[in-house]
Amino acid sequence: MMKYFYIRKLLFSLVTEPELVEHATGWKLQECNTQKGLSVLDFSDSMERVEELDWYELADHRVVHFIYGLLDVLDVKTLSQKAEEVKFDSDGICKPFTTNNIPNFIADESTIYWARKPSWSIDEATLLSMGFIDSDEIFMSVTSIEKYLAYNHSYYPILKEFFARKSLFQSAIESGHIGKLNNSIEYLEWLEKIKMSYPCGLKDSIYEYRGGKSEQPVNRDLNPKECSSLLALIHAMATNKPYSYDPNDSQNGAIKRIKNAVLDAGLSLSDKTIRKYLREANSEAEKSKDKNQ
C-alpha cells in the first residue's frame, strides 16, 4: 500500500483544487499524509455515472484520472523520491506544486527502456523530461486530454507544464534545432540550451546503453598535486556532517543528501556521477594515508 500512499500525496500536490481529487477518487485531503483510507482506485465505477456529471465535472474527472495514471505507472522508488518533495502547511495539509517545482526525479531502472530507444515521440520526450514515463494507456489519454483543459489550466500545473514543453519541442523540430528523426539525446541537449531541467541521470543512461560521450571526468589537465588536492577536499567534505558518506555502507543516504545540496545550489549531478567521484576521492584518501604511514 506504500505505493498508493505516495500516489495520494502526490496527486493532491499536483492538482491545486483538492475538491477535484476528492470528488474523482474518494480520497480525503486531510488523510494524505496518513495511512487512512488507502485503496487501489477503480475509476470504472465512477465513469459509469458520467450522465450525472456536467461537462466541467466530467472534464475534471478525466484529467484527475489522467494524472493518477501518470503516477500509477511509476515504480515505488521514483514515487517515494517525488513524494519527499511535497511540502505541508502548519495544519499538515500538503501544498500544491507550481509548474516550476514539479519533482522530476525518476529512478535509473525506469529509464533503461527509454535510454535504449534511439528516438522518442514528442509526447514521450515531454513526459520523460518531466520525470514521467509513457505507456499505451497514457499515450491514448494524452492525445485527447487537451480539449478538457481548454477552459482552465490553472488547476493542473503538471499539464500546463506538459503542453508548454511539448510546444517548445514542436517549435525546435520545426526550426531544425531538433532533427526530424527525433533523436533522444537531441531533446535533452535542446533543454540544456534553453536552460530547462530534466531528470539528472537520463542523459547518462542514454550514453551507458547506446554509447557516446558521457559526463566529463575530473579535468586531467590539472597537475597530479592539484587533482589530488581536489579529491582530498571532496573526501573531507563528504565524510563529515551533514553528508556523512561511508564507502562501506551504500545505504547510509549520503548520495541523496549530496544530490539535494547540488540541486539546492541550482546545479545538477546524477547519482552515478556523485558515486564515481566519491569513490575516486576515497581511493585518493586511502593512498595519501598509506603514504603518510
The reply to whether 217 falls in a domain is no
pLDDT at 145: 61
Tell me how many domains the chain contains. 3
pLDDT tens by residue, 233-283? 999 999 999 999 988 876 778 988 998 898 888 787 888 888 888 988 888
Indicate if 190 and 251 belong to the same structural domain.
Answer: no
Indicate if 185 and 122 belong to the same structural domain.
Answer: yes
Indicate if 189 and 261 belong to the same structural domain.
Answer: no
Indicate if 25 and 57 belong to the same structural domain.
Answer: yes
pLDDT at 78: 92
Indicate if 116 and 182 belong to the same structural domain.
Answer: yes
The reply to whether 88 falls in a domain is no
The reply to whether 33 falls in a domain is yes
The reply to whether 219 falls in a domain is no
Indicate if 127 and 195 belong to the same structural domain.
Answer: yes
pLDDT tens by residue, 82-131? 998 888 888 778 888 888 788 888 988 888 889 898 899 998 999 999 99
What is the maximum span of the chain, computed from C-alpha positions, in angstroms? 81
Indicate if 9 and 63 belong to the same structural domain.
Answer: yes
Sign of the alpha-carbon torsion through 144, 135, 71, 127: negative
Supply the range of the domain harboring residue 266: 224-292
Indicate if 69 and 114 belong to the same structural domain.
Answer: no
| pLDDT classification of 215: cutoffs 50, 70, 90 | very low
Domain boundary, last residue among 83, 98, 124 = 83
Indicate if 189 and 268 belong to the same structural domain.
Answer: no
- Cell reading at 189: 541537449
The reply to whether 45 falls in a domain is yes
Indicate if 173 and 201 belong to the same structural domain.
Answer: yes
Domain boundary, last residue among 210, 235, 265 = 210
pTM (two decimals): 0.67
Altogether, the residues listed in the chain come to a count of 293
Indicate if 112 and 79 belong to the same structural domain.
Answer: no
Domain boundary, last residue among 210, 244, 264 = 210
Output Rg (C-alpha) for the chain, integer angstroms: 22
| Average pLDDT of span 189-206 | 88
Indicate if 150 and 239 belong to the same structural domain.
Answer: no
Whether the link from the prior residue into 224 is cis, omega within 30° of 0, is: no
The reply to whether 255 falls in a domain is yes
pLDDT at 217: 45
More confident residue, 66 or 44: 66
The reply to whether 79 falls in a domain is yes
Q: What is the three-state SS of the chain?
A: CHHHHHHHHHHHHHCCCHHHHHHHHCCCHHHCCCCCCCCCCCHHHHHCCHHHCCHHHHHHHHHHHHHHHHHHCCCHHHHHHHHCCCCECCCCCECCCCCCCCCCCCCHHHHHHHHHCCECCHHHHHHHHCCCCCCHHHHHHHHHHHHHHCCCCCCCHHHHHHHHHHHHHHHHHHCCCCCCCCEHHHHHHHHHHCCCCCCCCHHHHHHHHHCCCCCCCCCCCCCHHHHHHHHHHHHHHHHCCCCCCCCCCCCCCHHHHHHHHHHHCCCCCCHHHHHHHHHHHHHHHHHHHHHHC
